[in-house]
Amino acid sequence: MKKLDEDLLICDMAETYGVLDYRVLPLTLSASLAYGLRSNSRIKMKMFGINYDMNQMMMAGMLDRLSLLVYAKTKDGQKGKNYPKMLVRELTGNDGKEKVSGFKSGEDFMKMRAKILGGKDG
C-alpha cells in the first residue's frame, strides 16, 4: 500500500484511526491497521482499480431509473427519441454493447479453440 500511494494511506489511517504518522507504530500494528481499512477507503479503491464505491453506483442507478420513468412520460419517450444519457454508463465507460465475436465456419472455431486451449495455431 505504501509503495502504491503513501499519501492515500496516510489520509486513510488519519481518517479511520486518528493516526497521523503510521511510521511511529510497530510495523505489525501499522500493517494490521492498514489491512483493516474499509473496502471503500482511498487506498483500497486505488489498489483494486475502483473509481466509485457501491453507494455512489447505487445512487447513480437510482437516478438513471428515475430519469427513465420521467422520460417515458414525455412525447420523445413515447416515440423512442432523445433517449436520456445513463449516468452509470458514463461512470463505468460501458457503452452497453456486448463485445461479441463470431466464426465463419466450424473450422475457424476449432482453430481458435485449439489456440486458446493449447496455445496452437490449429
| pLDDT 10s digits, 18-64 | 999 999 999 999 999 999 999 899 999 999 988 888 899 999 999 99
The pLDDT of 66-85, averaged and rounded, is 92
pTM exceeding the 0.85 threshold for the entire prediction? no
- 83 lies in which domain range? 54-92
* pLDDT tens, position by position, 78-94: 998 999 999 998 888 87
Q: Which residue has the cell 471503500?
A: 40
Report pLDDT for 31.
92
For residues 38 and 58, membership in a common domain is answered with: no
Comparing 122 with 7, the larger pLDDT belongs to 7
The answer to whether residue 102 sits within a structural domain is: no
Burial of 92 (0-12, 13-18, 19+ CB in 10 A): middle
Instruction: Please enumerate in sequence order all residues whose Cβ is within 8 A of that of 22, keeping only pairs 6 or more positions apart, or say none.
Output: 9, 10, 13, 30, 33, 34
Report pLDDT for 122.
46
**8-state DSSP, 76:** H
Distance CA 74, CA 80 (A): 10
User: How many structural domains comprise the chain?
Assistant: 2
For residues 10 and 37, membership in a common domain is answered with: yes
